[in-house]
Chains A and B, each alone.
Chain A
Amino acid sequence: MISPCPVRGKSLANKEEAPGKPPRFTKSGRAGTEFGMVEFKRVSYVFGSSWALKDVSFTLEKGGFLFLTGHSGAGKTTLLRLLYAGLPLHRGRATVAGFELHKLRRRHVPELRRRVSVVFQDFKILPQRTVFENVALALEVRGVTRQHMERRVRAIVRALGLESKSYTRCAHLSGGEQQRVAIARSMVVNPKLILADEPTGNLDADLTTDLMNIFKQFHSYGATVIMATHNRTILNMVPDAHILHLEQGQVAETTLPVEQDEPHTEGLL
C-alpha cells in the first residue's frame, strides 16, 4: 500500500503556506490555501487560426478523478497544458489548485507547479541521472533538507518497487520503470492535483494495470487526478471517475455536473 505522504503526512505542495485558511485570491492570480479543485468557465484556446479548445466549462471537486478522452487533436493535451500553466490562458476563466489562471503572473507559475504534479507519456525524466536523483529533484527545488529528502525519496521509491534501482541511471531502465520514476517524482511532494497526459501510452497491458493501481491509490488518499487518455479500456479501471469527452476542442459529453447556461449539456456517457 502506498502512503500519499510516506514520511510525515505533510504536503510539500507549497511549504510556505499555512494550512487551514480559506481561499484567498489576489490580483496576480496567486493562490490562497485551499486547492485540489479545478474550475473552467468558457475557456478557449487558439493555435494560429484553429480552435484547440472552444468554450470549455467544467468543475472538478477536490478529490475527484477525471478522465479526459477524445481522439488525437481533440484538445486533451492543450487542456492539460493550460492546467499547469504550460500555455497562457487568454480566453475564459479558470481556477486551478487555488490559482486564477486568467490572472496568473509569470513569477507565480513555479508556485502553481509546486501544487500540481504532471506525469507525461514520454516520462520527462533525466536519463543521465539516477532514480534517486530524478525523484529528489522535485524536493530539491523546494529547498527540502537533505535528510528529509532522503527519507521521502527512499519511502516513495520503495513503495513503487524501485528500491533496488535507486542508484541506477534512468537510461538503463525499462519503459515501465521509467514511468514509475516519473510518477514517484510527481508523488513524492504529495500533490493535491495530479495531471497525467497519456501516462500509459507507451506501456503494455500489465504495466498499464499496475500504473493505474498506483494512481488509484494516490486518489484514494485524497489527491485529485486528471488523466488524459484515448485508451477506453482504462476508463473501467476507475469506476467512480468522471469523464470529459472532447471533440474538436469542445466538450462533447461529460459525466461532470454541468451548469444550466453552458452550451454542452447534450448527454452523459
Chain B
Amino acid sequence: MLRFLRLGWRGLREMFLHPWAQLFTISAVTMAAVLAGIFLLLLHNVNQELIRNRGAVEFQVFWREGADMEQVRREWQRLAAMDHLKEMETFTPEQALEGLSRDLSGQGALDWLEEKNPLPASAFLAFNIPPGDHSEIWAKGLLAELRVLPDVRAVHYNPVQMDLAKSWLSVSRSVIWPVMGFLALVVALVVGNTVKLSMLTRRDEIEILSLVGARPWYIRAPLLASGAFTGLASSGLALGLLRLLHLRLEHVLDFPPVFLVISFLPMEHCLLLTGVVTAVCMAGSWVGVRQ
C-alpha cells in the first residue's frame, strides 16, 4: 500500500517534468468538460422548467357554503401533508371574495356582498405526477380521495392537462437522459484521446521502465495517479468556470414574460461530471500505456 502511495506521489511529481504538455492536456480536458457542463446546465434548466410548468396536475377543491371553517382548516392541514404535492393555495370565503373583487374592478368592488358572501372555501392543489405508467389510475384515485373529503362539494380537474403533463414528462425522461449519455460519450472520447496523446510525451519513460524490468503496475500506478489528478483538476476548473458563467448569466432571462432564473447544476450533476472526466482520464492513461 505504501509503495502504491509512493508510486502515486511519484506520478504527480513527474507530471511537472513535462509542464507544458500537462498544461495543454489540462486545458483541453477543461474545455471539453466546460462544454459538457454548459450542455448539462442547459438540459438541467430546460428539464426543471418543463417539470415546473408542465409536469404537474392541478385540482380545485370547493367546499359547501357555510361549511365549518375549523373543519375545513383541519382538512387543509391534511392536504398539505399529501405525497407529491407541489403547490397549495387555500382561500377562505372572505379571501376568495377579496381576490375576486380585486380582479374584477379594483379594491372594494364587491363589498356589498360581504354580508351574504356566496363564495365557498376552496383550495388549489398542484401535484407532481409520480414516475411510472400508472399516473391515470393515480390521478383518478386522488380525485376520488378529494371528493370524499367532509363537506366537499366539487373537485375540478382537467384530464387534458393530465395528458399534456404526462407528455412533457415523457419527453423530459426519454430525451434528457439519452442526451446526457451521449454527452458523456462525447466527453469520454475527447478526453480519452487527449490523455492518450499526452502519453506520447512519456512514451520514452514507459519504454525505458519496461526495458529495465519494471512490472506493469509499477509503470501504470504513477500514470493512473497523474490521470486522476488531470481529471480532478480539469473537472474542478471546469466547474469553477461554469459557476462564473452561471453567476454572469443567472438573471439574463429573468424578465417578463419569461421570468426564468437559471439555476446551477445540482450536486449530483457536478459529481457526475467530475466522476466521468476523472474516470475517463484514468482510462485514457491506462489505454495509453497499453499502446
Contacts and interface: CB of A to CB of B under 8 A. Distances in A.
Interface of A: 84, 110-114, 117-118, 124-126, 128-129, 137-138, 141-143, 185, 189
B3 A143 contact: yes
A124 B208 contact: yes
17 contacts: A110-B210, A110-B213, A110-B216, A113-B210, A113-B212, A113-B213, A114-B213, A128-B17, A128-B18, A129-B17, A138-B212, A138-B213, A141-B212, A141-B213, A142-B213, A143-B3, A185-B212
Most chain-B CB neighbours within 10 Å: which of A110, A112, A126? A110
Given A110-B215, A141-B218, A189-B212, 18 more contacts: A110-B210, A110-B213, A111-B213, A112-B213, A113-B210, A114-B213, A124-B211, A125-B208, A126-B204, A128-B17, A128-B18, A129-B17, A137-B208, A137-B209, A137-B212, A141-B213, A141-B214, A142-B213
Contact of A84 (B18, B211, B218): B211
Given A124-B204, A126-B204, A143-B3, A118 B17 contact: no
B163 interface: no
Contacts of B208: 124-126, 137
A124 B207 contact: yes
B17 A141 contact: no
A118 B212 CA distance: 8
A129 B17 CA distance: 8
Interface of B: 3, 17-18, 204-205, 207-216, 218
Contacts of A84: 211
Most chain-A CB neighbours within 10 Å: which of B204, B208, B209? B208
Contacts of B18: 128
Contacts, number: 42
Nearest to A142: B213
B3 A118 contact: no
Nearest to A106: B216
A129 B18 CA distance: 11
Contacts of B3: 143
Contacts of B211: 84, 113, 118, 124
A55 B211 CA distance: 26
Contacts of A185: 212
B209 to A, nearest CB: 7
A29 to B, nearest CB: 16
Contacts of B213: 110-114, 138, 141-142
A191 to B, nearest CB: 10
Contacts of B204: 124, 126
A185 B211 CA distance: 11
A113 B215 CA distance: 10
A39 B216 CA distance: 28
Nearest to A118: B211
A137 B211 CA distance: 11
Contact of A110 (B17, B205, B207, B214): B214
Nearest to B16: A128
Q: Which 3 A-B pairs have the closest CB atoms?
A: A114-B213, A113-B213, A141-B214
Contacts of B218: 141
A82 to B, nearest CB: 14
Most chain-A CB neighbours within 10 Å: which of B207, B208, B210, B212? B212
B205 A126 contact: yes
